[in-house]
Every structure is written in C-alpha cells, then in structure tokens.
Amino acid sequence: MTTTAPSTPGVQLLEVSPEYAGQRIDNFLLARLKGVPKTLIYRILRKGEVRVNKGRIKPEYKLQAGDIVRVPPVRVPERDEPVPLAQGLLQRLEASIVYEDKALIVINKPAGIAVHGGSGLNYGVIEAFRQLRPDTKELELVHRLDRDTSGLLMIAKKRSMLRHLHAALRGDGVDKRYMALVRGNWATSIKQVRAALGKSNLRSGERMVEVDEEEGKESVTVFKVLRRFGDFATLIEAKPITGRTHQIRVHTLHAGHCIAGDTKYGDDGFSKEIRDLGGKRLFLHAYMLTVPLPDGGELKLQAPVDEMWAKTVERLSAPI
C-alpha cells in the first residue's frame, strides 16, 4: 500500500497493493485507523465520505489491487496513546496462548472477553494483542467467537496467513469442534441439524438469529454425544459445517436442547440449576481445531475447559 499526496489537508489517498486485494473496505480501514472508534469508521462509510476510485462504496466492498481509497480527515491516536488496558487482562491473554509462530497466534480465549471492541466496549482480544505485540503491524482476527464462548481463536500476524486461512475456512480445510452442555437427554439419533438461519431484530433492538427455512442461509451442524448426566443434561460435541452467527446455539435449541447459561436462547430454569452448581457462564467451548498450514503441514490443537466448567461437570456427575 502506498500513500499519495493528500488533495486537501487531512485527506488521505491510499493505493491498494496486491497483498490487500480481496479485503473488505471496513476491515481495511479498521486496521489502518487503529484507535478510531468502530462506530466512526462505519459512519464515514455510510455517509459516503470514504471513496474508492472516486465512487461511493458499501462496507462489504472488497478491494482490488490498484484501487485508490480516499479517507476523510479523522483523528488517529498517536502510537503511544492506545486505549489503556489493565495489566491483569494483558497477562491473562498472554497466558492463554496455546500456539505461536511467525505468522499465527492461537489462544484459548476465556469466556466473557469480546474478540474486538464495539457495542460499548473499548477493547477486545485484538486490541489487547496489538498492545502485547506492538511490533507486529498486521495483526488480524482470522475468525470470531461470541463474547461468552471460550476456546480456540486464531489471530493472523501476516496478511498471507490471513488469506490462506480465510480460503481454508471457505472450503472444508478447517475442522473446528465445540463442546456444549445442553438441557435434557440428547438422543443418539440426532447426529446432524440442517436448518436455515436468518437474523431478526426484536423491539428492543436486540439482534436474534432464528430458523428461517424460506429466507435464511443454509446451515449445518454435526453432533455427537460425549457424556450423559441422566435425563438432566448432556455434554455434546458440535462440529459446524457452515459458519453462521450463533449457529450452534440456535441449532441445539432447534433440536430441543438449549445450552446451559445461554441468556439469549436458553432456558432460565435450567441455567439457574447449573449456576447453583457453580456454573456461571455459557457452556460453549471451542476445544479442538485442525487447520492446514501454507507449507502443506497441519496444525492440530486442543484447549482445556476452564476451572469453573470442570468443577461444574464434576458436581453434575457426583452421586446424589
């Protein structure tokens, strides 16, 4: 990427180099305007203040090599004034790393930490790692986990790795598996849920995902029973074949077995019983990950559950 002389004070004209071809304009701006609120970036996109080749574009526009991006004047914080993050949080995330090389970081994300700032949050995992790895210029999330979901999360340190993993995710090269504690006795016969998912807004403005066979996107999850706790609960493995928002949470609900601690799609009574056992979290954990590496090798990782999860399951299995 090269920068030409600004046509007016404060305006930037950025030429897109081939390595950024295919990246969405919103992600391109988020990476370059570090510290600028996400809401402001989407506002200047919505108002048409950001132009590509002198034309208005949508946030999902994918850049092409040679594109000229006009960025209006915005105040970018100096490098020495990032959003200050608590040392305790930074140390916790540093300790959560399960794999790191020159191009990739994989962490066992704790439950309750968002992957990025926004929606009233000043920070997330990616903002924290930009402080933990200040010399790595191209840190980007490869994929996302819900704030309350724990487990394996990939962060690319190089643009080439990000492109490689995005291509693998679009195909069938990445194997992600989750554990979930669900209500009731999951029938062994439920090996797959295929139900199209669509988004809707409630009156409160909260975004929900629901089964919508007419207008929703095709969504498939494969399931396997790991452990039963009588008729009360079942520990299952979920392997999403597609990657829709809240897919596992909605598919388990569709099968009649909501996830413990799910405040959006769960059952308050069941979640309270799990909380009474000490389980004060969403019981969804990305525990296994297999990804192809650019050199032809394969990376296989597993991440243990946290102490709260382990102790809750232990109490569930204790004789009454």
Which residue numbers are catalytic? 146
CB 112 within 8 A of CB 267: no
DSSP-assigned letter for residue 18: G
Give dist(CA 296, CA 48) in Å, integer.
42
How far CA 71 is from CA of 10, 55, 155, 170, 172, in Å, comes to 9, 12, 26, 30, 36
E-assigned strand segments in the chain = 2-4, 12-15, 51-52, 55-56, 68-71, 97-100, 104-109, 140-141, 150-156, 175-183, 192-194, 197-201, 207-211, 220-229, 233-240, 284-292, 298-302
Strands 12-15 and 68-71: antiparallel
Long-range contacts of 275-281 (CB under 8 A, 24+ apart): 277/312, 277/315, 277/316, 278/308, 278/311, 278/312, 278/315, 279/181, 279/308, 279/309, 279/312, 280/308, 281/111, 281/112, 281/148, 281/150, 281/306, 281/308, 281/309
Give dist(CA 233, CA 134) in Å, integer.
44
Give dist(CA 64, CA 134) in Å, integer.
28
Half-sphere exposure of 14 (CA within 13 A, CB side): 21
Residue 161 token pair: 């790795």
Half-sphere exposure of 77 (CA within 13 A, CB side): 10
CB 165 within 8 A of CB 194: no
